Amino acid sequence: MQQQELIPHLFRTEFSRVSAVLCKHFGIDHIELAEDIASETFLLAMETWPYKGVPENPAAWLYVVAKNKAKNYFARTHMFHGKIAPELKQTTDTPAPEIDLSDKNISDSQLQMLFAVCHPSIPPEAQIGLALRILCGFGIDEIANAFLSNKETINKRLFRAREKLRAEKVAIEMPETAAIPQRLNAVLTTLYLLYNEGYYSESQDTVIREELCIEAMRLTKLLLDHPLTNTPAVNALMALMCFHASRLPARKDENGALILYQDQDEALWNRTLITEGAFYLRAASQGSALSAYHLEATIAWWHTIKEDTPEKWDNILQLYNRLLQLQYSPVAALNRTFALAKVKGNAAALPEAEKLGLSGNPYYHALLGELYQGIDNQQALQHLQQAWHLSKTQPEKQTLQQKIDHLPTT
């Protein structure tokens, strides 16, 4: 790997490891300190490696520097308190506790930090933001880009979230066994939203989208590796992510334009990820609990079969029916209507689609544009044009424009 590519790569992989361990080491009151030390470590690498050369083991170098910076902070803090408060002077000789950057402690710290940032006291968008920052190594610019926001808004959101975690005295540790099921739901929701933020991103930066998906899968794997969180629902979520991620290479062309499912080149699908998804879906079948992740993962599995068959779409339709009964969402309702059209035809699906009344949703108008084709092409054109105006990304606008251009005029 070229030197100019190495530090960004290491920042993505090692920043989260260092910051999670330091957050656990210093406690929830000092999240910013942990982030600052991790950032300063990489800044030193950027300043010295171009001139002194890349160390033989770059990750180990980063760990040593981070440890030393943490120890120096500890020493400065105790010396400061010793000078301004003589009664605390005896603490100045206290040795700094050793920072454990072993693989096991890194994994444990990241998992514990995941539960901490997904605390129910802070809103979901703040949970995702903290997860991206502390556990995924994303910069403020990247987080702002992912949320179609700006740095000031993101900084304020993260500041409020950190303050709330301090006020609640949230411990960076695994919840008690009895509390894990309830707390795990919030963690899974955050990971699901994080993945969707990548897969259905409204950001015009297409690189960010895939990295969000990869980070969500990495964090979900942490849950699978721990015996108390390796549950059927976690396996189902991982299966869902694998099935969707398998199609990422086929979802855009060389110009970045989106390629719809029916137009994707099946040869570009990642068969290894499809196999992994099937493994996790089988593991998810243990027990009797049925989650929305089970149903969505099974729907995603049917989409790994490219050929359109009555069996395929009838199964998908029934799965959407169950999903809407279990957990209603407008997105699921839209997708269910598309499956209904595949099974019973556009004319049967149109009334069901129009009942949804999602007039401010571009996907709603795009679906109606599809369903009206061949029935009322003028209506189809109006809905496709409305979808174009509501779409927030250039790739989606390009795809819709192609549909508009190829729509028959009569």
- Final residue before a domain boundary, out of 285, 306, 327: 306
* Residue where a domain terminates, one of 52, 67, 99: 99
Please check whether residues 195 and 112 belong to one and the same domain: yes
- pTM summary value: 0.85
CB 219 within 8 A of CB 229: no
Residue 219 lies in a domain: no
Taking the alpha carbons of 348, 310, 337, 265 in that order, is the dihedral positive or negative?
negative
In a domain, 252, yes or no: yes
Together in a domain, 62 and 116 = no
Residues 124 and 108 in one domain: yes
Statement to judge: residues 205 and 256 lie in one domain: no
For residue 393, tell me if it sits in a domain. Answer: yes
HEC string of 288-345 equals CCCCHHHHHHHHHHHCCCCCCCHHHHHHHHHHHHHHHHHCCCHHHHHHHHHHHHHHHC
| 95 and 151 share one domain | no
217 lies in a domain? Answer: no
pLDDT of residue 88: 41
Asked if residue 114 and residue 197 are part of one domain, the reply reads yes
Of the candidates 46, 38, 48, the one whose C-alpha atom is nearest the C-alpha of residue 14 is 38
Quick one: 79 and 106 in the same domain?
A: no
Task: Give the model's pLDDT for residue 141.
Answer: 85
Residue carrying the six token digits 């129009």: 354
Check: CB of residue 283 under 8 Å from CB of residue 232. yes
- Those residues with Cβ within 8 angstroms of residue 348's Cβ, 6 or more apart along the chain or in another chain: 340, 341
| Boundary-marking domain end, from 306, 325, 354 | 306
Output the pLDDT for position 136: 84
Give how many domains the chain has, as a whole number.
4
Residues 324 and 410 in one domain: yes
Domain of residue 18 covers 4-99
pLDDT score for 97:
64
> What CATH number does the domain containing 376 carry?
1.25.40.10
Spatial distance between the Cα atoms of 132 and 16, rounded to a whole number of angstroms: 9
Instruction: Quote the pLDDT of residue 380.
Output: 96
Are residues 111 and 87 part of one domain? no
What CA–CA distance (Å, rounded) separates 34 from 40? 10
Q: Residue 243: what pLDDT?
A: 98
If asked whether residues 95 and 122 sit together in one domain, one would say: no
pLDDT at residue 366 in the model: 95
The two structure tokens encoding residue 73: 């902070």
Q: Give domain status of residue 111, yes or no.
A: yes
pLDDT for position 96: 55
Q: Judge whether 338 lies within some domain.
A: yes
Same domain, 320 and 401: yes
| In-domain check, residue 220 | no
116 shares its domain with 161: yes
In this prediction, the residues of the chain whose per-residue pLDDT falls under 70 are 1-4, 78-97, 201-208, 410
Q: Is 222 part of any domain? A: no
pLDDT of residue 149: 82
pLDDT at 140: 87
Q: What CA–CA distance (Å, rounded) separates 251 from 50?
A: 37
Could you give the CA distance from residue 263 to residue 29 in angstroms, rounded to a whole number? 51
